[in-house]
Amino acid sequence: MLSEKDAVRAAVDRAADDLVELSTTLHARPETAWEEHFAAATVPQLLERRGFTVTPAYLGLETAFLASCGSGPLRIALCAEYDALPGLGHACGHNLIASSSVGAALGLAEVADDLGLTVEVYGTPAEEGGGGKIEMLDRGAFRDVDLAMMVHPAPVDVAEARPFAVSHSRVSYTGRSAHAAAYPEDGVNAADAFTVAQVAIGLLRQQLPPSSRVHGIVTSAGSAPNAIPESSSGRWYVRAETLAELAEIEPKVMRCFEAGALATGTSLEVEAESKPYAEFRTDERTLAAYRANALRLGREFAPDGLAGRMNRASTDMGNVSQVVPAIHPYIGIGSLPATNHQREFAAHCVGRQAERALLDGAVALAWTGVDRARDGS
């Protein structure tokens, strides 16, 4: 008779071809935040074929879903991210995240009745700046869940997530156009406002905590060199160690944008893209179990350093971890020197090493769920 962990691994092995196909299909059809209609329809199909009950458009969100199996008292949630990066495709490997979460769920479903589990897969849109999990939390997702897990691809394996808290803002200036040569005095330059703001932010960094990050892009700033730009817009992130530290830093950054408006005479508008992402609260006992299971599978955890810094990336899974015991380990796909958010990393998110990471991640998560059930507390 197979042990629970042997049964889990056998179930993942049986589904391996389907899981790899799912990952490859998602990789070839990248969709950005809140536009993941193909992924939200495709990811739960494999679960539904294996007996999961699927709720599409979960909680009124078109590109979210919930899939569940079992009726035990211990509720384990696997988070499936599947949004891509604008212009870069799956350069953060969310195709692998979705597939490994599905695989872990299929493995746990095999032993759900024996271990008293309810296995849930949450299809979570818009992690890349849209705060999909935060919106889901606000609408009642993850309520009464006992453990939430996912595994994220990275250049190397790192067990503990230590992400920054982060805010995401759309910034825009409105001025007045004019002929840049004939009537420049009639113009109010919205592009210059960003120049002033970015210089101010650069100077502000001297007084910010060394671990903080302020970065962004100007997405538009005029359309013709002989017309003074009447409008400009951009997207800006502010990161800090905690939400509390972020609340202290962000007003200072906003004053830099206000300086741009004051200096140029433009009007400023700042709009939050989502609620801020929180720092991560790791469930240490569960993480220890994951680490042991990953080592059993032959994974090797990298020391701190350049390659291992992906665990500092921000995630809306941090908000989930504030209300539900959670882990968010990183699994290596052998991509070095390529790292996350590079085109070269996207290329590594399919292929032999990516497939091994997908299946190892699925088994390690599912085995960790077994350990959690055996622990019984």
For residues 96 and 108, what is the distance between their CA atoms, to the nearest angstrom? 18
What stretch(es) of the chain map to CATH 3.30.70.360? 165-272
Q: Is the pTM of this model over 0.85?
A: yes
pLDDT at position 139, please?
Answer: 97
Per-position b or e across 208-240, b if 16+ CB within 10 A of its CB: beeebbbebebeebbeeeeebbbbbbbbbbbbb
For residues 307 and 337, what is the distance between their CA atoms, to the nearest angstrom? 8
End-to-end Cα distance, the chain = 26
pLDDT at position 377, please?
Answer: 53
Q: 314, 291, 283: which is closest to 360 by C-alpha?
A: 291
Q: Which fold has domain 4-163+279-375?
A: Aminopeptidase (3.40.630)
The Cα-based distances of 285 to 288, 292, 304, 318, 371 in angstroms read 5, 11, 21, 17, 10
Q: What is the DSSP string of 30-83?
A: ---TT--HHHHHHHHHHHHHTT-EEEESGGG-TT-EEEEE---SEEEEEEEE--
pLDDT in tens, the chain (377 residues): 579 999 999 999 999 999 999 999 999 999 999 999 999 999 999 999 999 999 999 999 999 999 999 999 999 999 999 999 999 999 999 999 999 999 999 999 999 999 999 999 999 999 998 999 999 999 999 999 999 999 999 999 999 999 999 999 999 999 999 999 999 999 999 999 999 999 999 999 999 999 899 999 999 999 999 999 999 999 999 999 999 999 999 999 999 999 999 999 999 999 999 999 999 999 999 999 999 999 999 999 998 776 677 888 899 999 999 999 999 999 999 999 999 999 999 999 999 999 999 999 999 999 999 999 998 65
For residues 282 and 358, what is the distance between their CA atoms, to the nearest angstrom? 22
Q: Which fold has domain 165-272?
A: Alpha-Beta Plaits (3.30.70)
What stretch(es) of the chain map to CATH 3.40.630.10? 4-163+279-375
